[in-house]
C-alpha cells in the first residue's frame, strides 16, 4: 500500500462540549434576568429628595420602619428595644459598621426619632437616611 491509501480511522474519542456551553450560557442569561425579580423586601414609601447616592463598600445593614410602625433589620422584625440590643451586638462585632434607616414617609416623626435614638444608644456612630432620589415638585 502506499502513501495515498489505507489510513484507518477509529472512533473519535473527544467530547463535543459545544452543546454543553450553549446550555450553560442560556441558563446564565435566565438567572441574570430573573435574579433581580426574586429579591423581596419590606415595602415602604420613601420620601423623595434630590440628594446624591452614597457609595457603599460592604453589605448594607438597613433598618426599615413601615407605615404600620413595624421595625426590621434587613428582613427580620424587631421591637425597638430588641433592635437596640441586636445593634449593640453587631457594633461589638464591627465597631465601624454603618446603619441605614429607611422609614415610610407616613410614619409619625416621633416614632422615627425613637428608632434613631435606639440606633444611637446602641453605639452606632454612622447612621444614614435612605430616600427615593427623584424630582420633587416645587
Can you list the alpha helix ranges (DSSP code H) found in 1-138?
18-34, 80-93, 109-121
DSSP state of 36: G
**Domains contained in the chain, number:** 1
**Residue 40 located in a structural domain:** no
Whether 5 has a pLDDT exceeding 60, the answer reads no
Enclosing domain of residue 64: 48-133
pTM of the shown model: 0.56
Q: Would 42 be classed as within a structural domain?
A: no
Is 12 contained in some domain?
A: no
DSSP assignments along 43-76, one per residue: ---PPEE-PPPPP--S---EEEE-TT--EEETTE
Q: What percent of the chain has pLDDT over 70?
A: 71
Determine the average pLDDT of the residues in 95-117.
87
| Residue 69 counted as domain residue | yes
* Mean pLDDT, all residues of the chain: 78
Is residue 119 included in any domain, yes or no?
yes
For residue 82, is it within any domain? Answer: yes
CATH code for the domain in which residue 56 is found? 3.30.420.270
User: pLDDT tens digit string along 51-92?
Assistant: 565 555 556 788 889 888 889 988 888 888 888 888 888 888
Instruction: State CA 7 to chain mean position distance.
Output: 62
CB burial string 88-101: b at 16+ within 10 A, e below:
eebbeeeeebbbbb
Domain assignment of residue 39, yes or no: no
Is 41 part of any domain? no
Tens digits of residue pLDDT in 24-61: 999 999 888 887 766 555 566 666 666 565 555 556 78
Amino acid at each position: 500500500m502506499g502513501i495515498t491509501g489505507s489510513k484507518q480511522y477509529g472512533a473519535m474519542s473527544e467530547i463535543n462540549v459545544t452543546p454543553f456551553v450553549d446550555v450553560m450560557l442560556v441558563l446564565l442569561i435566565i438567572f441574570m434576568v430573573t435574579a433581580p425579580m426574586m429579591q423581596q423586601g419590606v415595602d415602604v414609601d420613601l420620601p423623595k429628595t434630590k440628594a446624591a447616592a452614597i457609595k457603599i463598600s460592604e453589605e448594607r445593614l438597613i433598618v426599615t420602619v413601615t407605615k404600620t410602625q413595624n421595625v426590621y433589620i434587613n428582613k427580620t422584625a424587631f421591637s425597638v428595644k430588641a433592635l437596640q440590643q441586636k445593634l449593640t451586638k453587631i457594633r461589638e462585632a464591627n465597631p465601624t459598621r454603618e446603619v441605614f434607616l429607611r422609614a415610610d414617609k407616613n410614619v409619625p416623626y416621633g416614632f422615627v426619632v425613637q428608632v434613631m435614638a435606639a440606633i444611637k444608644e446602641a453605639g452606632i456612630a454612622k447612621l444614614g437616611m435612605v430616600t427615593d432620589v427623584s424630582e420633587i415638585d416645587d
